[in-house]
Amino acid sequence: MKVRAQMSMLFHMDKCIGCHTCSVACKNLWTDRDGAEYMWWNNVETRPGTGYPTGWEDQDHYKGGWKRDNKGRLKLTLHSKGGGVAKAFYNPSLPELEDYYDPFTFRYGDLFGAPQGKHQPTAIPVSKITGKPMEINTGPNWDDDLGGSDIFAANDLSMNGVDESVRAQMEEIERVVFNYLPRICNHCLNPACVAACPSGAIYKRGEDGVVLVNEDKCRGWRMCVSGCPYKKVYYNWDSGKSEKCILCFPRMETGQAPACAHSCVGRIRYMGVMLYDADQIEAVGSLPDDELLDAQLNMILDPNDPEVIAAARLAGIDDDWLDAARRSPVYRFVKEWGMAFPLHPEFRTEAMMFYVPPLSPVMSVIEDDLIKLDLPDERQDFELLEELEKARLPLEYLANLFTIGDVEPIKRVLRTMLAVRTFKRRQSVDGTLDDATLEMLADLDLTPFKAEQIYRLTTTPTMDDRFVFPPYHREMSLEELGDPIKAKGGMGFGYRRGPERGA
């Protein structure tokens, strides 16, 4: 057992309202620069949709992530070693700017400088890259802007396996369903971007598992861009280097939550330390699809287990971190309550950001014209549990996103969330717990105490409940490298220095 620590984020999708505050906070902090206009290290996708960049989940086209070959070995989808050399100067699997979007602004001066005339002046859209007038036909969240267009939303790969009649209904006007999928870099345990980089410029740092690009070593081959199945490494056309989400490590090192999590209006984001067994990375990655999800979740170790604690100390993880791991809200959602899954585990990069799948209103789709659910009011709570197949957001769809097509784990999570709701309603509205409610909890392996805990961490968590950061002890590493007094009065970041250019 080789214990390592990972800073993980959890997205409670049931709480996400799709306001994009996280994206804007991230953009203002990190990507408001030349060459980075089109990058959204954090983005929120309106689903169903093809996301950003368009169709990023289609690995037949983009060739991201890992695949299991015939002999059960783990291989990069992008290329073999020889193939990588052959395609060094020509990589057809790269997303192009049109697949992201041409970043635009408006010529606001037109509004003020237009001569007097019959019509109201308009601000012409101009490209932020070329500065020339352009026609806007894609954007960073076009599915939302177009309300689920028949080009984009209809091509959502995660809709595969959803019944045709359900799909037809979902595309009808006034019955369109949305949910929101916030995405950042998954800071994977087995990152394909790291494996694909010919310059060895990308690395997963030891203390907290943040995956970073060394801007001085990056030579702009862009293999990471196609290697990452989540398309979360971006090429900066101005510096000629790749850039990606850094999980706001300068903020975490000073005890602050990353900008996206900190600014989250719906408070859907949780962060905490996860301990995992690094010895299992390759073995888990090469398992067949149906064993992959469980095995990946099993890599995460129990921070209360004395054996794990001993092994962690041996691996140089200090007690502050172990303590933080024991208090981690992400650990509770993922392991204690089994309510969260990584996004697309079939990409085999062992993503370490987790998602609680969202509930949605139930509606019957069996009868063509029926929109409302025809259920007796007094039994509705319990009926809902059994009618999950009729949820407006199809179970198969969520299963394609999080559990490699297996609906059972999704059902269990949705039932748990419904059961907690029912339990709290009985408790606070009726004032008593009837036997049926207790039985329902017991069926889902919940006790009233556990249900109460889930309720509290879901609905009324404080900042300290949501974000549990261990002390990074940067002052210690600083002392090892030099005299910390020299940094006194500085801003802590040193001087800004442009990256070296050229191959």
Among 135, 150, 369, 435, binds other proteins (CB under 8 A): 150
Report, in Å, the least distance between residue 54 CB and other proteins: 5
Residue 59 found at the interface with other proteins (CB under 8 A): no
Report, in Å, the least distance between residue 304 CB and other proteins: 46
**β-bridge pairing 300-301 and 202-204:** unpaired
Closest CB to other proteins among residues 95, 285: 95
Residue 135 found at the interface with other proteins (CB under 8 A): no
> How many Å apart are CA 274 and CA 61, to the nearest integer?
33
Report, in Å, the least distance between residue 50 CB and other proteins: 7
Contact of 396 with 281, CB cutoff 8 Å: no
Residue 60 found at the interface with other proteins (CB under 8 A): no
> How many Å apart are CA 228 and CA 82, to the nearest integer?
19
Residue 95 found at the interface with other proteins (CB under 8 A): yes
Among 72, 82, 92, 115, binds other proteins (CB under 8 A): 92
Report, in Å, the least distance between residue 172 CB and other proteins: 18
SS3 274: strand
CA-wise closest residue to 271 among 283, 286, 259 = 259
Q: What are phi and psi of 192, to 5 degrees?
A: -70, -25
Residue 50 found at the interface with other proteins (CB under 8 A): yes
Closest CB to other proteins among residues 96, 174: 96
Residue 140 found at the interface with other proteins (CB under 8 A): no
Contact of 124 with 24, CB cutoff 8 Å: no
> How many Å apart are CA 52 and CA 190, to the nearest integer?
22
Residue 263 found at the interface with other proteins (CB under 8 A): no
Among 24, 125, 155, 465, binds other proteins (CB under 8 A): 155
Residue 186 found at the interface with other proteins (CB under 8 A): no
Report, in Å, the least distance between residue 465 CB and other proteins: 41
Q: What are phi and psi of 87, to 5 degrees?
A: -100, 15
**Lookup result for tokens 């392996």:** 445
User: How far lies 296's CA from each of 40, 276, 334, in Å?
Assistant: 27, 10, 11
Residue 136 found at the interface with other proteins (CB under 8 A): no
CB under 8 A: which stretch of 48-56, 120-128, 218-226, 483-491 binds other proteins? 48-56
Closest CB to other proteins among residues 151, 370: 151
CB-based contacts of 460, cutoff 8 Å, min separation 6: none
Among 35, 99, 448, 453, binds other proteins (CB under 8 A): 99
E-assigned strands of 197-258?
202-204, 211-213, 233-236, 241-244
Specify the DSSP class assigned to residue 183. E
CB under 8 A: which stretch of 96-104, 215-223, 246-254, 300-308 binds other proteins? 96-104
Residue 191 found at the interface with other proteins (CB under 8 A): no
Residue 55 found at the interface with other proteins (CB under 8 A): yes
> How many Å apart are CA 247 and CA 245, to the nearest integer?
6
Closest CB to other proteins among residues 150, 480: 150
Closest CB to other proteins among residues 78, 210: 78
Report, in Å, the least distance between residue 150 CB and other proteins: 7
> How many Å apart are CA 292 and CA 286, to the nearest integer?
8
Dump the DSSP string for 85-118: HHTTT--TTPPPHHHH---EEE-THHHHHPPS-S
CB-based contacts of 60, cutoff 8 Å, min separation 6: none
Among 71, 72, 96, 480, binds other proteins (CB under 8 A): 96
Residue 226 found at the interface with other proteins (CB under 8 A): no
- The type of residue at 50 is T
Contacting positions for other proteins (CB under 8 A): 50, 53-55, 58, 61-62, 92, 95-96, 98-99, 138, 150-152, 155
